[in-house]
Each structure stands twice: as structure tokens, then as C-alpha cells.
Amino acid sequence: MTELLERVIAQLKVLPADEQDAIASRFLAELEDEEAWKASFAATTDDQWDKLAAMVRQEITAGEFSPLEELFSSKPNNQ
């Protein structure tokens, strides 16, 4: 176990049981979600990746995209 995880567990131990359970449930859901994504990616065929890449290229050519600066900007869009 890593030092960071040990620190987290030490902090969790002092919380009330209902808070511990709530946090544990969130962690378990996150781990399950991560496993589902890994399985999905592993099951994706080269043909499926090629089709996805072709769709993205087509959207870019058609101008159907937003610059990353707009998607990940920390400023509101109206500024």
C-alpha cells in the first residue's frame, strides 16, 4: 500500500461510520467505472478505432468542432 493511501485511510478511520461508508461507496463506484472503461477500450477493434477517427476527421473538415481552449477554459464563455 502506498504512503498516500495509508494517509487517506488514517483520516477516514476518524470519521463517523456513515461518512466512511459514503466515501467507500464513491471509491468503489470509481474503481468499477475504471474497470468498465478498461474493458471497453480493450474490446475496441482496430476497425472501430479507424471508424471513430474517420468521423472525427469529417467533423473537423465540416467545422463541427470547438477549440480546446473553449472547452477547457477557466473563464466563462461570455468574457
Tens digits of residue pLDDT in 55-64? 999 999 998 8
Contacts of 70 (CB under 8 A, 6+ apart): 77
* pTM (global) more than 0.75: no
Give domain status of residue 76, yes or no: no
Q: Which domain holds residue 44?
A: 3-71
Grid coordinates of 79: 468574457
Number of domains in the chain: 1
Give domain status of residue 77, yes or no: no
What average pLDDT does this structure show over 10-29?
97
Tens digits of residue pLDDT in 20-79? 999 999 999 999 999 999 999 999 999 999 999 999 999 999 988 888 888 887 765 555
Give domain status of residue 66, yes or no: yes
Give domain status of residue 25, yes or no: yes
Grid coordinates of 23: 466515501
CA atoms within 13 A on the CB side of 10: 7
Distance CA 5, CA 19 (A): 17
Give domain status of residue 53, yes or no: yes
Closest CA to 33 of 21, 25, 44: 25
